[in-house]
A = this chain, B = another copy of it.
């Protein structure tokens, strides 16, 4: 076991470290004790509990910490008021006080729900994020966005609540289903596309190693975290640049909504993969980017086994107008104008806050007709 890579997140009084490496679960108790907590409450989901909860609790026991676990059902459905209330009441039963910690141990669903619960428990207790999916390790565990879904949409209720530490154990990804790993990989690619053409080039060569594990996986996760940390450091509360992280997400969210968030048809990262391909193709159509760049994006995502076309989604998703409506309901819409993240090339993305809906409609029609290939 080599020493973990440490990525600092510079947020003044709310600064914290992300540690990435092998064997971190086994040391968790030591880290929690070092944070000065006496009591720790683990929040996790059924899948992660079955595979890894014993390891975590043994580590907490070894460090003589009073500990308990709340296990929620796996899946997006747990990001609800109902489960928020349940988790809060479990944390209160566990007598978590201001100096103690909540451990969010799971994928992005657990991270968002447990992080939110920690932020409102006694008006705020510390949370340590221990992400177990690739998506959570490179994205959702970093940056402090937490929240739940409502009938009106995803993540509309929540809080900014930075973790006090993020521990990304790369070994834990070995039990992650292939499809989930690939979906998380879409977010890794995203960081290259936003502002790091060199990283994208590296991924084109080394993605196979990233999937296999070892040093290249750690490197890909650390580079992703550093990229997110830097963007979040510039814009903690998403008033500007942080929106770049939504590359591929305006289209992606609409597609997720179009399939009714049915994970059997489309998981989030797959929506993002298609969304990033579309964002680049839309940029080409608007005369912003070169067709070769869009093609490289599509080729790489395909190579990694990710979908890149709306037609890759099984079943019906509806026409251009339906997708446009779904985009307009997204919270990235300000006063009726559509915000897209577009690109002038690989690693040259930017926030386009005022895209005419008409342009988006025509592009979507073409994409659905199959007249945009790639």
Contact = CB atoms under 8 A, between A and B. Distances in A.
A93 B120 CA distance: 23
A119 B159 contact: yes
Contacts of A122: 156-157, 331
Contacts of A89: 150-152
A160 interface: yes
A8 interface: no
Contacts of A150: 85, 88-89, 92
A179 interface: no
A334 B97 contact: yes
A147 interface: yes
Interface in A45-100: 81, 84-85, 88-89, 92-93, 97
A124 interface: yes
Interface residues of A, number: 28
B85 A152 contact: no
Interface string A96-115: 01000000000000000000
A145 interface: yes
B160 A124 contact: yes
B92 A85 contact: no
Contacts of A81: 81, 84-85, 88
Interface string A327-356: 000010010000000000000000000000
Contacts of A151: 89
A159 B120 contact: yes
A357 interface: no
Interface string A141-154: 00001010011110
A85 B156 CA distance: 12
A152 B120 contact: no
Residue with the greatest number of chain B CB neighbours at <10 A, chosen from A93, A145, A159: A159
Interface in A118-167: 119-124, 145, 147, 150-153, 156-160
A158 B123 contact: yes
A121 B88 contact: no
A138 B122 CA distance: 23
A120 B158 contact: yes
Contact of A92 (B119, B123, B152): B152
Interface string A265-296: 00000000000000000000000000000000
A338 to B, nearest CB: 15
Contacts of A331: 97, 122
Contact of A123 (B120, B121, B160): B160
Given A81-B81, A152-B93, A334-B97, A88 B120 contact: no
Contacts of A120: 116, 120, 147, 157-159
- Pick the 10 closest A-B CB pairs, nearest first: A92-B152, A81-B85, A123-B158, A120-B157, A88-B157, A123-B160, A123-B159, A120-B159, A92-B156, A89-B150
10 contacts: A81-B88, A88-B150, A89-B151, A89-B152, A93-B152, A97-B331, A120-B157, A122-B156, A123-B147, A123-B159
Given A116-B120, A121-B157, 13 more contacts: A81-B85, A81-B88, A88-B150, A89-B150, A89-B152, A92-B150, A92-B152, A120-B120, A120-B147, A120-B159, A123-B159, A124-B159, A159-B159
